[in-house]
Structure formats: C-alpha cells, structure tokens
Amino acid sequence: MEVIFKGRMKTIYKNICRKFILPLADVATRQQAMRMYNFYTESQWWERQRLADYQNNYIHDTVAIAYQEVPFYKRLYDKYKVNINNITGIDDLHMLPVVTKDMLRSSYPDACTRKTEWPWHEYCTSGSSGKPFAVRVDDLTMSSARALMLLRATYSGWDIGDPFLQTGMTLSRGFVKKVKDILMRVEYVSAFNLSDSILDDYLRLIEDKKLDYVMGYAGSLFCLAERAEQRGFNRRMKGFVSWGDNLYSHYREKIEKAFQCRVTDTYGCGEGIQIAAQCGMNNGAYHIFMPHVAVEIVDDDGFPVNPGEVGNILLTRLDAGAMPLIRYKVGDIGRKSTADSCPCGRGLEMLTKIEGRDTDIIVTPNGNKLIVHFFTGIFEYYQSIDTFKVIQEKPGEIIVELVPNADFKEEHWAALKKEIWEKGDPGLEIVLKIVDEIPPEKSNKRRFVVSRINSNLAAIK
C-alpha cells in the first residue's frame, strides 16, 4: 500500500508541475517555455514531410526578416547578389553565404541584432573555437531552448517532477533559479570542483535523496562514474543525460557500467539553440529538433554533402529572434543519418555522429578535475582575448596559450589566473604563452583543452 501511495503522490506532483507550477513560472518570467514544450512534445511525432513543411515556412520568413531588419544580413546578401524571394525552404539555403563567429563578432551588437517585443539577455560562449563570442537572445527564443531542455531530458525516461542531480556552472543561482530548483526538485551542484571529496558528497546526495537521474556536462558525469567505481557505489540509476563537452565512448562505457543505466547524450550550443538528442534506439542516432532548427551538413565550400558523409554543421534557427542565426557555422563536424525513420516513431531527422569539440580533462595538484566547461565558463567573459588553448604537459602545471586582442592588459591575465586558482586549485602552476595564432589539429578540429599526460583519466585513483 505504501508503494502505491508514493506512486500516486509522484503522479499528482508531476501533474501539478506540468499544469500549474511551470505555467505560473512562465507568467512570472514573461516566457512561454511550457507552451513551447507542449508543442515540441506533440510535433516530434509528426511525419517527416509535415515537419519539413513547417521548417520551410519559417525559413522563408526568417530570411526575409533578417534581410529587412538586420544590417549585417542585408549587406551580406546584397554583396552576394542574393534574391531572398528565391529562398523558400531548407533546400534553398545553399544559395546563401555561410556565416561564421568572426563575421558576427565584428558586427556585434548594432549591425547583427534587431528589436523584438521580448526582453533580451546577452550570453557569452566560446563554443568549439576557443574564442569569446557574445550573442543576444530574447525571451521567446530562450523559451524554446528551455522547452527543448525539458524535452531532451525525457528521452532518458525522466519526466517533469522527477527529482534529479544536475552538475552545472551557474553557481550563483539567484532567487528565481533557487525557487525553480526547489519546485523542479533539482539538486544543483558544481561542475567546477570535481575532487574526490566533492564527488563523494554527490554520491551521498544521490543515495540519501534516492535520486534516479543525473544530468550535466559529460566530463563531470564521467568523473562521477570514476569515483563511484572506486568507492564501490552500486545503486542502480534510471538514466543519465549528458551535454556540453564530447561524450567519448569510454565516458559512456564507464558511466553505464558504474550506474547500470543508459546515457542519453544531447547536442546544443550556447547561442540559444538546442539541436538534437539521442532516443536510445537506432544505434544512438541524435534526433534533430526540426521545429526549432534546420541543420545542414556541408563541405568546405558550403554545399550539402550526402547523408552518411561527414561535413561541417550549419545551423539556421527558425525564429529570427533578437539575433538571427542563418547558415551559422557552429564549428562542429557531423553527419546525417541515411535512415528515413527511427524505431522510436519520431519523425525527426537524425544525426548519426557529432565529431567536433574534442577535449580532455585537466588534473590539478589537489585532485580536482577541470573539464572543458570549467575553462570556457571563465575565458568566455574576457573579450580582450581572441583565442585560447589550455595544455597540460606535466602534473601540477598548465600552459595557457593566448592570442590577445589589442585591448588585452596585464590585469586581465592576473584576473584570469586568480579565477582559475579560486575555482580550480590554488596550487596549480599556470604559465602564460602569448602567441600570434592557435592552429587547429591535424584533423582540422579545434581542441582548446588538451592533456598530454592522461587522456582518459585511467591513472586517476
């Protein structure tokens, strides 16, 4: 009887979250996350052609808005003699030039943003380029992104109202986020500090709170699995959801073995776009959130490659928002699936592999493990730095290569070092190396956190 009662109470709370708490939160924050969540939940099951038609309608409108209201796109399309009336859908996008971070960076904010009826916020990201990059995202666009964050988590079996542990970088939660964490039953913990004692605290929290789901940066989940294995932690979980850095195959194997559950990997970018998530079928393919974003896989000249072939990932967000992103080269490499459908029944297109964003984990003298988002969470706010790369060649020391901008000052470097020491490890030796450029790897990938002493943490005890 007790089990039945608890099950009913969980169901009641989930319904309260879905029908009352989250809709009221949207009213309080002037967002529409739950309305968008309901739409995305339904539309993922549409037939492929209906999804494609929906995309095509929005692509035409978004390109027209960008041309009419955003000076950057008007100048760019006029330069390439683009007739925007010819852009009627995704199959016509190849007529438009590719847009890069550098192009937008040099035009930000006045020339590449527009006014909307929604409040906007500025977000900084380093993406896979290692260069600080600012974007403007309005609340309607953010509502879509947050709705898809909820949807992608359901691919693991999680449901709104289920308690979970989340590793994250936004340690200063603020009143609204704290309230959200309480109502959503989130145990929000740091992905900055991943020392053994802290990881032990996370495992204890999972046990004491009887948490069945964990979500967060792939590197942090891997470190948690490493520690669980070392401690003999044997509580069977229901699902893990990873995002941010690359989920390497040995990460997945370690997590799934340690916690006896499936890892659902997701793919998004800090520019306010949620791109795709794995459903657990069809050999781990990633379902593209077609009502939110159009994904192209192209060669180096911007022309589409065939399904199954590797190419550069271009994104077109379907709503223009405060800063339209059209044929935006996110800096990652991937390939589309050759399959027309998935056994799960979703009509969404699929990516079979995302090959960009290779990273490593830096180990500090006190045993902390610094994942890639530890560094991007710091460097992306220093606009005086053009590009960075962190290299570890020996224990206890990192080399930070910097390509500075003209306004870079010594005090900026001092502030950076202080922040790394405070959030990572004060015993870490940090060596600055000013360089003219940071070339990509031989594979043409941009890795900006590289450990040359321990690529997979196999030696960490």
DSSP 20-34: IIHHHHHHHHT--HH
**384 in a structural domain:** yes
Q: How many whole angstroms separate alpha carbon 348 and alpha carbon 288?
A: 6
Cβ pair 390, 373 in contact under 8 A: no
Structural domain including 9 reads 1-30
Neighbours of 254 (CB within 10 A): 23
Q: Is residue 415 part of a domain?
A: yes
48 belongs to a structural domain: no
With contact defined as beta carbons under 8 Å apart, do 285 and 298 qualify?
no
CB 190 within 8 A of CB 198: yes
**Residue 189 resides in a domain:** no
Question: Each residue's pLDDT tens digit in the chain (461 positions)?
Answer: 554 555 677 788 888 888 888 898 888 888 999 999 999 999 999 999 999 999 999 999 999 999 999 999 999 999 999 999 999 999 999 999 999 999 999 999 999 999 999 999 999 876 555 677 899 999 999 999 999 999 999 999 999 999 999 999 877 777 877 887 888 899 999 998 899 999 999 999 999 999 999 999 999 999 999 999 999 998 999 999 999 888 888 899 999 999 999 999 999 998 999 999 999 887 789 999 999 999 999 998 999 999 999 889 999 999 999 999 999 999 888 899 998 899 999 999 999 877 665 467 899 999 999 988 889 889 988 989 999 999 999 999 999 999 999 999 999 999 999 999 999 999 999 999 999 999 876 545 567 899 888 544 433 33
Q: Which two tokens stand for residue 201?
A: 């605290």
Instruction: State the DSSP H helix or E strand holding residue 385, giving kind and residue range, or none if neither.
Output: strand 385-394
Number of domains in the chain: 2
Residue 11 has a pLDDT of 83
Q: What is the pLDDT of residue 6?
A: 58
DSSP conformational letter for 395: T
* Distance, CA of 408 to CA of 381 (rounded, Å): 13
**Is residue 7 situated within a structural domain?**
yes
Asked if the structure places residue 396 within a domain, the reply is yes
Is residue 252, in this structure, part of any structural domain at all?
no
Residue 387 sits in a domain whose CATH number is 3.30.300.30
Q: How far is CA 290 from the centre of its chain?
A: 17
The helix-helix angle for 218-231 and 196-209 (nearest 10°) equals: 80
pLDDT of residue 238: 97
pLDDT at 327: 98
Q: How far is CA 396 from the centre of its chain?
A: 29
403 falls within a domain = yes
**pTM, entire model:** 0.85
